[in-house]
């Protein structure tokens, strides 16, 4: 069973144990002995099953089982023993009427079982001393109340429970109560540090390059999709997607952003582009948000070839959803472009998939033999499944980086992470081809030699391509790392910055998350573990990461250099990068609503200090 299934199975048996013990108490109390017996048997079986799920999870990685081994399973077993001692003779010996203590014993087991269900959902990884003591306090308090109702007088117990509660509550205010992420707070004398604002891009292109100037003005507008449908949007220059930015390797890209009327401010972040830090567009970290009437000019060298995109990083969840994004494509110098080259940002507007501006199938005439490159960009916050029908094709680049020896594909589905890019290449056949999103036959792109768009077969059962097995291996040297960070992703109720059901990293929600500190030139390894029930598209700014392993297995295909990778429930990714771009960088989930609810932290180079304060969202 996969870790994700084990996590779900563990919740399911925790639920059955809870229902079983409490149900047994109720039925015993009302004299239905046979039913009480059956429920006891169910509860005992489910409780023992938790031993098995916990052991299996621990084998998958300590992160998956930590709070179960240290807290909820011992609690459950103690509850089970209590039930056996107090209620066993009554339930299975058949003595009537049921004594209050027998019912109490079953209830106590029920409270203990409930902790195994509630803790992972409400608190999440990890069980800190504080959270553990508070849980014990709650179960203990419920036990005492029940026990007293059964006619016993629990003096020593009351004192113990009260003590656990006080200590637990006290520990909640001790900083650093979470597991070590490898992160430490950056402590630098202000005088030593280089400010982020000094880390600007060049003002001249590379030799032979030119300056590509763009003016982007952020404003609200009503845009019209290809079908004629209108959408209230936030736009760059009144259009969604914003102006397509293109350059040739070695050019200088210079973009002046103005804000007309986006009240909460805007920025431009160059997703996947390793720009100098002050050009990265993160409000509160690398610049201040550009408010209405203000402007900011970004400059950086087009030194990475491939498909990228830009988007606002201020109130990014809402801003990107509303349309503040566009594409950035850099062509290699000296390579004459031939054939058809299309860049297609795919976005959801009011629940409808839109390719560029096409909310219905777009049909284009393309003559047979044309070489075609389709650059797909997922501008949504959730992964998107694509299928391509009608001709064999190759997935030639991922996140702007060419794959090594990509083989021919057909009848394969591609799953593109939020924020990610795939470049598809093929030669136009003598018949039509179709690119579908989510197997939706009503939208997508159709190319055909005669401009017709015949029906496309259903692609819903095409298997998904495993990127870690695609293409040809090549040496991807990654020696012994200088630093190692672990990020365990989960959910839980957190109180800082207003109570919320946060998305957490090692138990913390931004801005409480510890900073990962590196030194220039460090080789850094990062382990990302998903303990939750949702996919987390992980995105580090300023660096591309090498995939070292997924679930303990190194890729067997092309080396993978990514800026966004989907960590699905139960998955463990190992990635590595060389710290060659000094600055303060965001490291976050690109499901932007998750980032908004805490799933973000900073990667900081020693000797760099932010010149900006707050304002980041």
Question: Does residue 588 bind ligand C2O (CB under 6 A)?
Answer: yes
Question: Does residue 509 bind Cu ion (CB under 5 A)?
Answer: no
**Which option in Cu ion, ligand C2O, none does residue 373 bind, with CB closer than 5 to 8 A by kind?**
none
**Which option in ligand C2O, Cu ion, none does residue 123 bind, with CB closer than 5 to 8 A by kind?**
none
- Is 124 buried (19+), middle (13-18) or exposed (0-12) by CB count in 10 A? buried
Question: Residue 308 or residue 605: which is nearer to ligand C2O going by CB?
Answer: 308
**Which option in Cu ion, ligand C2O, none does residue 589 bind, with CB closer than 5 to 8 A by kind?**
Cu ion
> How far apart are CB 383 and Cu ion at their closest, in Å?
11
- Which run of H or E residues covers position 233? strand 230-236
Q: Which of 538, 425, 412 is nearest to 470 (CA)?
A: 412
- Is 482 buried (19+), middle (13-18) or exposed (0-12) by CB count in 10 A? middle
Question: Residue 240 or residue 436: which is nearer to ligand C2O going by CB?
Answer: 240
Q: Please tell me the distance from the alpha carbon of residue 360 to that of residue 232, in angstroms, as a whole number.
A: 18
**Which option in ligand C2O, Cu ion, none does residue 536 bind, with CB closer than 5 to 8 A by kind?**
Cu ion
> How far apart are CB 597 and ligand C2O at their closest, in Å?
15
Question: Does residue 586 bind ligand C2O (CB under 6 A)?
Answer: yes
Burial 263-297 (b: 16+ CB within 10 A, else e): ebbbbbbbbbbbbbbbbbbbbbbbbbbbeeeeebe
Query: Which residues, listed in sequence order, are joined to residue 235 by a DSSP beta bridge?
Result: 219
Residues comprising the chain, all counted? 617
Q: Which stretch binds ligand C2O (CB under 6 A): 31-39, 500-508, 565-573, 582-590?
A: 582-590
Question: Does residue 594 bind Cu ion (CB under 5 A)?
Answer: yes
Helix, strand, coil percentages (3-state) for the chain, rounded to 5, are 30, 30, 40
Site for Cu ion in 532-591 (CB under 5 A): 536, 589, 591
Give the x/- contact pattern for ligand C2O in 292-331, rule: CB under 6 A. -------------------x-x------------------
Q: Which residue has the tokens 């009302």?
A: 30
Q: Please tell me the distance from the alpha carbon of residue 74 to that of residue 112, in angstroms, as a whole number.
A: 9
Question: Does residue 269 bind ligand C2O (CB under 6 A)?
Answer: yes
Q: Which stretch binds ligand C2O (CB under 6 A): 224-232, 399-407, 584-592, 609-617?
A: 584-592
> How far apart are CB 594 and Cu ion at their closest, in Å?
3
Up-side HSE of residue 260: CA atoms within 13 Å toward CB?
Answer: 13
Q: Please tell me the distance from the alpha carbon of residue 292 to that of residue 617, in angstroms, as a whole number.
A: 17
# chain residues binding ligand C2O, by CB under 6 A: 10
Whether residue 125 contacts residue 533, with contact meaning beta carbons closer than 8 Å, is answered with no
Give the x/- contact pattern for ligand C2O in 524-543, rule: CB under 6 A. ---------------x-x--
Whether residue 409 contacts residue 395, with contact meaning beta carbons closer than 8 Å, is answered with yes
Q: Please tell me the distance from the alpha carbon of residue 527 to that of residue 512, in angstroms, as a whole number.
A: 20
Write out the residues near Cu ion by the rule CB under 5 A: 536, 589, 591, 594
Write out the residues near ligand C2O by the rule CB under 6 A: 269, 271, 311, 313, 419, 539, 541, 586, 588, 590
């Amino acid at each position: 069973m996969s870790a994700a299934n084990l996590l779900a199975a563990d919740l399911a048996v925790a639920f059955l144990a809870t229902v079983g013990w409490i149900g047994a108490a109720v039925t015993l109390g009302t004299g239905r002995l046979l039913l009480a017996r059956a429920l006891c048997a169910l509860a005992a079986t489910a409780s023992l099953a938790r031993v098995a799920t916990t052991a299996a999870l621990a084998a998958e990685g300590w992160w998956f089982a930590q709070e179960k081994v240290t807290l909820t399973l011992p609690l459950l077993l103690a509850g089970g023993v209590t039930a056996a001692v107090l209620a066993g003779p009554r339930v299975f010996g058949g003595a009537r009427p049921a004594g209050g203590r027998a019912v109490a014993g079953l209830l106590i087991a029920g409270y203990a079982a409930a902790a195994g269900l509630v803790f992972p959902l409400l608190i999440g990884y990890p069980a800190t001393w504080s959270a553990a003591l508070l849980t014990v306090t709650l179960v203990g308090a419920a036990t005492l109340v029940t026990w007293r109702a059964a006619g016993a007088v629990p003096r020593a117990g009351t004192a113990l429970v009260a003590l656990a509660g006080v200590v637990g509550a006290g520990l909640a205010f001790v900083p650093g109560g979470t597991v070590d992420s490898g992160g430490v707070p950056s402590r630098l004398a202000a005088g030593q540090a280089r400010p982020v604002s000094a880390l600007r891009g060049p003002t001249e292109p590379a030799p032979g390059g030119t300056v590509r100037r763009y003016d982007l003005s952020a404003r609200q507008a009503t845009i019209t999709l290809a079908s004629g449908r209108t959408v209230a949007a936030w736009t760059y220059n009144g259009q969604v997607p914003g102006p397509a930015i293109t350059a040739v390797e070695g050019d200088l890209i210079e973009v002046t952003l103005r804000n007309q009327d986006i009240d909460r401010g805007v920025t431009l972040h160059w997703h996947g582009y390793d720009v100098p830090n002050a050009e990265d567009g993160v409000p509160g970290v690398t610049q201040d948000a550009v408010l209405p009437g203000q402007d900011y000019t970004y400059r950086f060298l087009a030194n990475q070839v491939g498909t990228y995109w830009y988007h606002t990083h201020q109130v990014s969840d809402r801003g990107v959803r509303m349309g503040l994004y566009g594409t950035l494509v850099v062509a290699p110098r000296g390579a004459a472009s031939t054939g058809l080259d299309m860049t297609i940002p795919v976005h959801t507007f009011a629940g409808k998939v839109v390719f560029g501006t096409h909310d219905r199938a777009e049909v284009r005439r393309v003559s047979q033999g044309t070489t075609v490159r389709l650059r797909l960009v997922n501008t949504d916050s959730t992964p998107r499944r694509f299928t391509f029908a009608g001709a064999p094709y190759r997935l030639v680049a991922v996140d702007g980086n060419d794959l090594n020896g990509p083989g021919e594909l057909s009848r394969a589905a591609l799953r593109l992470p939020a924020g990610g890019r795939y470049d598809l290449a093929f030669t136009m056949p003598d018949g039509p081809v179709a690119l579908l999103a989510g197997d939706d036959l009503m939208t997508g792109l159709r190319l055909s030699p005669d401009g017709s768009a015949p029906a496309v077969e259903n692609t819903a059962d095409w298997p998904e391509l495993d990127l870690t097995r695609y293409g040809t291996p090549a040496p991807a040297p990654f020696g012994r790392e200088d630093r190692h960070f672990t990020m365990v992703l989960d959910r839980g109720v957190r109180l800082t910055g207003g109570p919320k059901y946060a998305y957490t990293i090692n138990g913390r929600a931004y801005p409480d998350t510890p900073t990962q500190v590196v030194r220039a030139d460090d080789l850094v390894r990062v382990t990302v573990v998903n303990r939750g029930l949702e996919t987390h598209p992980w995105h580090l700014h300023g660096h591309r990461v090498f995939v070292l392993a997924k679930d303990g297995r190194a890729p067997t295909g092309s080396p993978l250099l990514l800026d966004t990778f989907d960590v699905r429930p139960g998955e463990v990714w190992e990635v590595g990068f060389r710290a060659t771009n000094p600055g303060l960088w965001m490291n976050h989930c690109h499901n932007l609503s998750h980032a908004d609810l805490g799933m973000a932290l900073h990667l900081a180079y020693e000797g760099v200090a932010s010149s900006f304060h707050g304002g980041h969202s």
